Structure 1
Amino acid sequence: MSNKPIRNQVNKKYYHLSVNYFVMIGDVILALIKNSIKHIISLLKLIPQIIFRRKEKPRVPANHLLLKFLLAFFAGVVASIIFITVPFTVYRWFKELPTPDLLLAKQPNSPTRILDNKGRLLFEIYVDQRVEPVTLNSLPDYVVQATIAVEDDRFFEHRGIRLDSILRSLKAIIIDNELQGGSTITQQLVKNMLLTNDRTVARKTKEVVLSLLVEQKYTKEQILELYMNNIPYGGSAWGIQSASKKFFNKDAKNLTLAEASMLAGLPSSPTLYSPLVTDSNSTTSLAKIRQNTVLQQMVTNKNITQEQATAAYSEELTFAPQNAYIRAPHFVEIVKAELLDLYGERYLTTGGLTVTTTLDLDLQDEVQQIISTDVDTIGKAKGFTNAGALILKSQTAEVLAYVGSKNYFDGIEGAYDVVQAYRQPGSSIKIVTYALALEGGATPATIVPDTPFTLRYDNQVYTPKNYDGKFHGANVTLRQAFANSYNIPPVRLIQRFGVDNMISLGGKLGLRNWIVDGSYGPSATLGGKEVTLLDLTNLYATFSRGGLYVTPKFILSVRDNAGYEVYKNTGIEKRLLASKAPTNEKQIISKSTAYLVSNILADNAARTPIFGANSVLNVKDHTVAAKTGTTDNNRDGWTFGYTPSYTVGVWTGNNDNKPMNSTTSGVSSAGPMWNKVISKVLEDVPNENFEVPTDVVLRKYTKCNISEYFVKGSAPKDVCPSEEHIDKK
């Protein structure tokens, strides 16, 4: 600061002497009380002797002696009140005062800041008092000068109190029967940090005494810095830094004179002078009038010139929007829940944690825009009103974008998080069945007939049908059946390899609610068992990782208010991914099976009979494994796809579970959104092919004019692969 503050001339040792003085007085009083009690007991013992003494010739009449005793007794009582009780009460009163040491010991409630992976703010968690401490030296001179000018223009001259203000307050109490303000900066600091806000004479007296003690213990700079960091500016904003963020969305060190003078006028009455209540740039608003008062007092104090004051007063101020600031809200809710589980509410709301998350805010905003726009356009035509999307880094399972609804702020509909909602997955779950079959010895060339088929299960007859209502022949290969999402072949496979084995594998791949209990039938392979978009997207990502399950990660690191790292990239398995899902990393399926699945789902030629050569599953210039899903009655539409680097999942439907239009499918509802999202993710990424494991080979068969990938040792030697029938395995 340009003007050096006048330091208090009273040495700090006098503070300790004053406290020791009262302690000494208290000890003396306690000794006097003990002695007084002894004397009173002695006097009481004389009463029976006086009353019942024998009737001899008394030198003095008994009644005179009794009267003399009573007078002495009551005189002793009065003396005790004056010389013992009153000092002792004063002693106790001083002893119960808060110590000024608490001003430094009392840590402010610092907010927890949730950031994206580039350090951009997503949300802050704090209690009613949101404090961000700053040092006095970091603030421009005029920020501090404005506060001193309007709150306590003689701050550097007094020693904690101003007698003129105290006399004015006493006059108001005695004559007007009310308490007045007019407190010094030191008194306001004491009131806000050490005392309650009740307006009583006793509290005011404590405030005065503590202010004197505080001035003896701390320098003026310390008092001023504590004040600037802890005074209320309105709402949850406590301290100049918090106020600067709230009203102008900037750090206090970057405030202009106009902004600083507007904020300086708030602490005396934050609601009355709030610039957010009315048009703060109107010369008739209380906020503008108060700002002018501050500026003119600064001119009087020779902090600024009249020209500077006039320019600052004329400057039109732009205030930050006051909506609850939150970006990627559904994502933030997940992070908050995990942090609460890790640290508890008290530490979370006051500990000043800095949480760096996996989210890419730029990508998040782009995906949110795609979802919101397409729900309004495609959704209107297809009969759905909501959608969600999730993007993962394939190899690490870090969540890069998380869109839980069309619009989070759209009441109950928007708050519904479809990424966490349990819905039936339709054909998108077939990936588990085919992985089970490939792990069990089937190959992409294995014949799985798509012919009429009836299965008896649990005393019921189950007859699966294809989405197009047709049969595609007795020589359909596993590759063709999977790529075109025929329904009959996976039911044949599940009959061969077992429903319970499929449910078990799904659970190992991260489907938290998939537990083997014997309650599932063959319809599970067609999507009869519910999943979440989060679980199923990460399941697809597991295949991009070569069969390695990795727990989804929302948090990269957490640092405490001192900057020390207290948490690092451990995911959210405590709350979100507990249950039966694996945690951290575990190889669930073989690399060869993962590759074969990826190769089939990336085979555009293989899926052309049903989806066409130029479907939304075909991403220009990129090799992408993709799969769709549609549930019975068209209630849910899904599309998933992945590359070695990124995995994207999209869901469409209605929150109330109403069906979409009868002709709507996963490829026609979720597909277009999925294509836009993954194209955005991959626009600056070179094409990547899935790595072929060392135990997978490509075999060519001239006889039947086909080429196919096989795990070493599984390729037929003497016959064409098309002669390998699933029923013969």
Structure 2
Amino acid sequence: MAMNRQGSARGKGDGVQPVRKRKKINWLVLLAWLVALGLLAGAALFAAVLVYFNQQLPDFRQITEYKPALITRVFDRNGEILAEYANERRVWVPFSEIPKPVVQAFLAAEDSGFFEHGGYDLKAIVRAALVNVMTDRTQGASTITQQVAKTYLLSNERTFTRKIKELILSWRIERAFTKNEILELYLNRIYLGNGAYGVAAAAETYFNKTLAELDLGERAMIAGMPQAPSRYNPVKNPSAAKARRDIVIRRMESERFIDNAEADAAVAAPLVLNVSTLKQGEDAPHFAEFIRRLIAERYGEDALYQDGLSVYTTIDLPTQRLAEQAVYEGLRTFDRRRGWRGPLAKIKDMAQWKEQLAEIAEKYAHSSRLGEAAVVLKVSGKDGVRVGLADGREGSIAPESAKWTGKGLNSLVKMGDVVVVKASQIDKDNGKFTLEQLPQVQGALVAIDVASGEVVAMVGGLGEGEGFNRAVQAKRQVGSAFKPFVFTAALENNYTPASTVLDAPVVFKTGEKEWKPRNYDDTIGGLITLRDGLAKSRNLMTVRLAQDVGMRNVADVARRMGVSDRVPITDLSVALGTLDLGLMEMVGAYAVYPRGGEYVPPVYLRRVQDAQGVTLLRATPACEGCLAQLGAKPTEPPPVPPSSGSRALSPQVAYQMVSMMEGVVESGTAYSLKKLGVPLAGKTGTTNDFIDAWFVGFSPDIAVGVWVGYDTPRSLGTGETGAKAALPIWQQFMAGVVKNQPSGDFRVPSGIEFARIDADSGLLPGVNSKRFVTEAFVAGTVPTDVTPDMVDDPTGSFGGGGAGGGIDNLLKSFGIY
């Protein structure tokens, strides 16, 4: 066998082999296989992605457990919002209560195919991807369902993995919730700028309206905000907000939610805002802060700011506004009596006055309700005084508003002076201001509903409520306002209102120290009745009375009436009010008298509910239906003792004190109250050196107390008594109260007998009696003796006549002289 050149062996019959034909490739089949393999690979990849992300996805059922941070609202007794507390403004509204036009506005703006897709819109995703790749613009494609998934379950990071998770969760959400449920989740959680979360909160924030009150343009503006809440914020960017609003309106037209005429009218309308912030208790700042602390202590800060509590208080805002105004005007009047103190500060560089004024104004921000800091820009005889404010406003001070200073306006200030001004009520819109002065003195007022013990008004001082609340936190000497407790103890220990006590000098010794009390006017009255002694606030007879009755009994009366249990039982000066007490406890104690002797602790809350309406706290009424019972007939006995109260005094003693304290109004230190023309009773209080001024009193329906003084104790000024400094505030407030709520008469319990007696002797009238009074006695205690004839004693030894004459002889008979 021969080998060829390549070394191949040739066999028998070797020759050239025929060439085989190659088979044609079936490209269609190959393509089909490739597609199939691609689909399989894609499916496998998709499955792998699902498995991978499924392990990282949050449980979408967490949505059902979502607990939104809601606004806690504090209401007055009439349901008016007093204050709101929240970390973010959010109001949750069930879908059934969201008006259909609001829903349509959001569908047009955000997801017109919402009711057709299954959670995501592939066409929108592709379109957005092309826009993002081919242009510099960024376009979103998220459906409402995707936004729900992102808002409730994911973060705001802009990553591919987050988008995948969002799509998967959207698909699941669509199968677990109805479309309406998804819309409810969306419309209540979406952020809409200015701290507002959800459509209801946005309606309140921008327009101060409910959802049902929004018009077409307002709905469209809110619906246009989710894409960019900051960019379309109507407060900061009104033009951008309007442009976006108009786009939404046209989309609503294209979706046939509205017709062309409606759209044209809405687009042509201006964008008008009525911005509303969370109410901070502006009408009752100290009470609102008091309640805020009370709720925070009881339920915790988290509950207060996140749980959406509804807190129904006892405060009555119309009455509260009367109280705030009375305190402000009363302290303003007092401060003006003390004179003009000069400007607050001086701006040296007038080129920078706005910046410097802003810094000064910030220091006095807590007093913004009383006036605003302004700098004097110009002083001229022709134009008067021109001022500028930190916010850029300018105006002039009305010359007549400076009359209280006793000087001409132009002589009071110079250019650069910083003064306090207030927009004139007469010409508020044209830059007219009045010259003011921030009072340095402080004051407080408390008003309690007699029947229920509910606090209906509380003023803790001038300025904002975050600081010291003088109505409940301050303890100050009460002066003669303490005397009713002494007289009450006397009535419980065999005295009557007609009993006479010697009003004459007395000396008390404690070791080597001597105490010599004296009357305010340094006069002596001789023998005077308890009624006259209380009405004229006689110190000497009060101390003698306390000594005879015993301070232990006085302290016991005060304790039963809710006043401090720390009343000393050996210090007779306490009878004249040297003890430090709070305004709230004083008013609560005085309310015992018109309530028929029952003590009820002050009540601040009526009801507290959680966001679901479950009642967490309900105050037990002190006396269910008390007002109706008390108002029946003047001669009927007081109502059944309140369930939450305690018997402090007998109804008879309580009424005797009411009658005697009416004498303070009829002929005593509160005589000016007579002009109100309604039954009133009370007691003034003034401490040594005129440091504290008080008036505490009541009508048949309301007990009210007023305190005036400086936070750091110092004299209010000579003659600034309770009748001069505190009573005018009480009177102005009560004038408004009785005008709005006419009062009946004080209720008289059974067991009381009335008798006409001699007002000086306290005995039955004699032939020469000059003054008479119809006195209230406990049955069986009416005097039987008749006032003796005193024809040879024209000065009247039985009191009321001042020093000299018959009183001198009387004092000698007692061994005083």
Pairing 1:638–2:594 present: no
Pairing 1:392–2:448 present: yes
Pairing 1:493–2:545 present: yes
Distance 1:181 1:88, change over 3 A: closer
Pairing 1:196–2:263 present: no
> 2:748 is matched with which residue?
691
Deviations, residues 42-67 of structure 1 (Å, cap 9, x unaligned): xxxxxxxxxxxxxxxxxxxxxxxxxx
Distance 1:190 1:139, change over 3 A: same
> 2:254 is matched with which residue?
300
| Contact 2:105–2:223 under 8 Å retained in 1 | yes
Q: Secondary structure at the match of 1:442?
A: coil
Structure 1 segment 664-683 matched on structure 2, within 5 A = 664-683=720-739
Which one-letter code corresponds to 1:247 in the other structure?
Y
> 1:14 is matched with which residue?
none
Which one-letter code corresponds to 1:94 in the other structure?
N
Distance 1:606 1:450, change over 3 A: farther
TM-score with structure 2 length normalisation?
0.69
Report the CA distance between 1:239 and its aligned residue: 1.0
Q: Structure 1: any 5+ residue segments left out of the alignment?
A: 1-83, 573-581
Report the CA distance between 1:460 and its aligned residue: 2.8
Distance 1:253 1:567, change over 3 A: same
Alignment partner of 2:652 out of 566, 586, 592: 592
Structure with more contact order per residue of length (Cα contacts < 8 Å, sep ≥ 6): 1
Pairing 1:127–2:187 present: no
| Contact 2:665–2:674 under 8 Å retained in 1 | no
Deviations, residues 601-649 of structure 1 (Å, cap 9, x unaligned): 10258734x66xxx32324321211211112222222112212212122
Q: Secondary structure at the match of 1:598?
A: helix
Structure 1 segment 302-341 matched on structure 2, within 5 A = 302-325=256-279, 326=281, 327-341=283-297
Pairing 1:702–2:765 present: yes
Report the CA distance between 1:104 and its aligned residue: 2.9
> 1:276 is matched with which residue?
235
Between the aligned partners of 1:583 and 1:635, the Cα distance in structure 2 is: 39
Structure 1 segment 319-718 matched on structure 2, within 5 A = 319-325=273-279, 326=281, 327-381=283-337, 385-408=441-464, 416-457=469-510, 460-468=513-521, 470-511=522-563, 513-515=564-566, 521-570=571-620, 584-603=644-663, 607-608=667-668, 615-683=671-739, 684-698=741-755, 700=757, 701-703=764-766, 705=769, 708-717=775-784
Deviations, residues 9-30 of structure 1 (Å, cap 9, x unaligned): xxxxxxxxxxxxxxxxxxxxxx
Distance 1:195 1:306, change over 3 A: same
What value does the CA root-mean-square deviation take over the aligned residues? 3.6
Between the aligned partners of 2:505 and 2:582, the Cα distance in structure 1 is: 32
Distance 1:320 1:510, change over 3 A: farther
Structure 1 segment 24-423 matched on structure 2, within 5 A = 91=51, 93-136=53-96, 138-141=98-101, 143-164=102-123, 166=125, 181-278=140-237, 280=238, 285-325=239-279, 326=281, 327-381=283-337, 385-408=441-464, 416-423=469-476
| Contact 1:424–1:527 under 8 Å retained in 2 | yes
Between the aligned partners of 1:177 and 1:312, the Cα distance in structure 2 is: 32
Between the aligned partners of 2:595 and 2:48, the Cα distance in structure 1 is: 77
| Contact 2:608–2:616 under 8 Å retained in 1 | yes
Between the aligned partners of 2:338 and 2:486, the Cα distance in structure 1 is: 29
Between the aligned partners of 1:128 and 1:137, the Cα distance in structure 2 is: 22
Between the aligned partners of 1:564 and 1:91, the Cα distance in structure 2 is: 43
Between the aligned partners of 1:542 and 1:357, the Cα distance in structure 2 is: 22
Deviates more, 1:553-562 or 1:434-443: 553-562
Distance 1:147 1:544, change over 3 A: same
> 1:11 is matched with which residue?
none
Between the aligned partners of 2:701 and 2:665, the Cα distance in structure 1 is: 23
| Contact 1:428–1:627 under 8 Å retained in 2 | yes
Which one-letter code corresponds to 1:399 in the other structure?
V
Distance 1:655 1:92, change over 3 A: farther
Between the aligned partners of 1:717 and 1:137, the Cα distance in structure 2 is: 76
Distance 1:320 1:637, change over 3 A: farther
Report the CA distance between 1:465 and its aligned residue: 2.0
Distance 1:452 1:604, change over 3 A: closer
Deviations, residues 433-486 of structure 1 (Å, cap 9, x unaligned): 211222222222223222111112365322212222x22232122221111112
> 1:49 is matched with which residue?
none
Report the CA distance between 1:335 and its aligned residue: 2.6
Between the aligned partners of 2:568 and 2:726, the Cα distance in structure 1 is: 32
Between the aligned partners of 2:556 and 2:511, the Cα distance in structure 1 is: 20
Between the aligned partners of 1:560 and 1:422, the Cα distance in structure 2 is: 35
Between the aligned partners of 2:614 and 2:734, the Cα distance in structure 1 is: 36
Between the aligned partners of 1:317 and 1:386, the Cα distance in structure 2 is: 44
Q: Secondary structure at the match of 1:485?
A: coil
Which one-letter code corresponds to 1:680 in the other structure?
G
Which one-letter code corresponds to 2:661 in the other structure?
L
| Contact 1:550–1:586 under 8 Å retained in 2 | yes
Between the aligned partners of 2:711 and 2:99, the Cα distance in structure 1 is: 51
Q: Secondary structure at the match of 1:456?
A: strand
> 1:19 is matched with which residue?
none
Q: Secondary structure at the match of 1:123?
A: strand
| Contact 2:442–2:462 under 8 Å retained in 1 | yes
Distance 1:605 1:240, change over 3 A: closer
Report the CA distance between 1:255 and its aligned residue: 0.7
Which one-letter code corresponds to 1:689 in the other structure?
F
Identity of matched residues, %: 32
Q: Secondary structure at the match of 2:694?
A: strand
Between the aligned partners of 1:599 and 1:630, the Cα distance in structure 2 is: 22
Deviations, residues 392-431 of structure 1 (Å, cap 9, x unaligned): 211211222222233437x85xx64445422221211111
Between the aligned partners of 1:502 and 1:540, the Cα distance in structure 2 is: 15
| Contact 2:665–2:682 under 8 Å retained in 1 | no
Distance 1:560 1:452, change over 3 A: same
| Contact 2:326–2:730 under 8 Å retained in 1 | no
> 1:43 is matched with which residue?
none
Between the aligned partners of 1:119 and 1:248, the Cα distance in structure 2 is: 21
Q: Which has the higher helix share?
A: 1
| Contact 2:233–2:241 under 8 Å retained in 1 | yes
Distance 1:623 1:86, change over 3 A: closer
Report the CA distance between 1:356 and its aligned residue: 2.6
| Contact 2:475–2:580 under 8 Å retained in 1 | yes
Report the CA distance between 1:175 and its aligned residue: 11
